Amino acid sequence: MNRHLDDAITQIKSLSEEGQREAAELLFEFLNQQKSDIRLTPAQVAEIERRLGDDEPFASDQEVRDLYARLTK
């Protein structure tokens, strides 16, 4: 086993039951993602991160209310 992974597991063992459960869930999520056939290029990852950080495309509360009002007349 990789020394870094061994150190992490040693620290996880010292956590509460709940902490250990959460750490296990994170590890299983990571492992499931590694099995995925979907692979993004660095450019795709950068574009997703850019779009997630951009609040502008979202409508304001008032814009949503106005649109809902127009659509439900």
Q: What is the pLDDT of residue 26?
A: 95
Q: What is the pLDDT of residue 44?
A: 95
Grouped pLDDT means (10 residues each) for the chain, 73 residues: 92 95 94 84 93 79 93 90
Q: What residue segments make up the domains of the chain, in order of their start?
A: 3-71
Q: For residue 62, what are its two tokens?
A: 């008032």
Q: What is the pLDDT of residue 27?
A: 94
Q: What is the pLDDT of residue 24?
A: 95
Task: Count CB atoms within 10 A of the CB of residue 27.
Answer: 14
Claim: this prediction has a pTM higher than 0.85: no
